[in-house]
Chain A
Amino acid sequence: MAAAPHEHRLVVGIDLGTTNSLVATIRHGLPEVLVDEAARPLLPSIVRYRADGVVEVGQDAQQHQATDPRNTIVSVKRFMGRGVKDVEHVENLPYDFVDAPGMLQLRTAAGVKSPIEVSAEILRVLYRRAGAALGGDLVGAVITVPAYFDDAQRQATRDAARLAGINVLRLLNEPTAAAVAYGLDTAAEGIYAVYDLGGGTFDISILKLTKGVFEVLATGGDSALGGDDFDHRLYCWALEQADLSLLPPEDVSLLTIKARAAKEALSSRSNAILQARLAGGKWINLTIGADAFAAMTQHLVQKTLEATRKALRDARLKASDVQGVVLVGGATRMPHVRRAVGDLFGREPLTDIDPDKVVALGAAMQANLLAGNRAPGDDWLLLDVIPLSLGLETMGGLAEKVIARNSTIPIVRAQEFTTFKDGQTAMAIHVVQGERELVRDCRSLARFELRGIPPMPAGAARIRVTFQVDADGLLSVTARESTTGVEAAVTVKPSYGLSDDEVARLLRESMGAADSDMRERALREQQVDAKRLLDAVRIALAADPDLLNDEERAEIDARVHDVEQHVDGSNADAMHDAVEGLSRATDEFAARRMDRSIRAALSGRRVDELTK
Chain B
Amino acid sequence: MPIQDNHFALFGLPTQFAVDERALEEAYKRVQGQTHPDRFAAATAAERRVAMQWAARANEAFQTLRSPLRRAAYLCELNGAPIEAESNTAMPGAFLAQQMQWRELLDEARASADRVRLQELDDELAAVRTATLAQLESGLDQARDFRAASALVRQLMFIEKFGDELSAVAETTAAGAG
Interface residues of A (CB under 8 A from B): 1-3, 9, 139, 169-170, 210, 213, 309, 313, 366, 369-372, 381-383, 407-413, 468, 470-471, 583, 586-588, 590-591, 593-595, 598-599, 601-603, 610
Contact = CB atoms under 8 A, between A and B. Distances in A.
A591 B3 contact: no
Given A410-B59, A412-B53, A603-B3, A371 B46 contact: no
Contacts, number: 104
B63 A407 contact: yes
Given A370-B42, A587-B46, A590-B46, A598 B34 contact: yes
A213 B4 CA distance: 23
A381 B52 contact: no
Interface stretch (B25-33, B94-102, B124-132): B25-33
A602 B46 contact: no
Contacts of A587: 44-46
14 contacts: A9-B42, A139-B42, A170-B38, A210-B29, A369-B38, A372-B41, A381-B32, A381-B33, A381-B38, A407-B59, A408-B62, A410-B52, A591-B49, A594-B47
A610 B37 contact: no
Contacts of B10: 602
B16 interface: no
Given A594-B47, A594-B50, A599-B3, A372 B42 contact: yes
A468 B43 contact: no
Given A313-B171, A411-B60, A591-B49, 5 more contacts: A1-B44, A1-B47, A381-B36, A383-B36, A601-B34
A593 B50 CA distance: 10
Contact of A382 (B4, B38, B49): B38
B75 interface: no
B32 A468 contact: no
A594 B4 contact: no
Contacts of B44: 1, 583, 587, 590
By secondary structure, the A interface counts as: mixed
A583 B46 CA distance: 9
B64 to A, nearest CB: 12
B51 interface: yes
B169 interface: no
A594 B51 contact: yes
B29 A170 contact: no
Contacts of A371: 41-42
Contacts of A586: 46
Interface of B: 1, 3-4, 10, 29, 31-38, 40-47, 49-57, 59-60, 62-63, 167, 171
Contact of A598 (B41, B51, B56, B59): B51
Contacts of A588: 46
B3 A602 contact: yes
B56 to A, nearest CB: 4
A468 B59 CA distance: 13
Contacts of A601: 34
Nearest to B54: A598
Nearest to B40: A594
Nearest to A372: B42
Given A313-B167, A591-B49, A602 B34 contact: yes
A212 to B, nearest CB: 8
Given A169-B41, A381-B32, A471-B37, A598 B50 contact: yes
A470 B54 contact: no
Contacts of A598: 34-35, 50-51, 54
B29 A599 contact: no
Contacts of B41: 169-170, 370-372
B1 A599 contact: yes
A50 to B, nearest CB: 38
Contact of B50 (A139, A595, A602): A595
B98 to A, nearest CB: 25
Contacts of A595: 50, 54
Given A369-B38, A610-B1, A471 B50 contact: no
Contact of A591 (B37, B38, B47): B47
Given A411-B56, A598-B54, A470 B46 contact: no
A605 to B, nearest CB: 9
A411 B38 contact: no
Contacts of B43: 1-3, 594
A408 B59 CA distance: 7
B49 to A, nearest CB: 7
A599 B4 contact: yes
A268 to B, nearest CB: 31
A413 B31 CA distance: 19
Contacts of B40: 594
A372 B39 CA distance: 8
A409 B46 CA distance: 19
A172 to B, nearest CB: 10
A601 B10 CA distance: 12
Contacts of A594: 40, 43, 46-47, 50-51
Contacts of A170: 38, 41
A407 B62 CA distance: 11
Contact of A408 (B1, B49, B51, B63): B63
A143 to B, nearest CB: 13
Contacts of A411: 56, 59-60
A530 B158 CA distance: 59
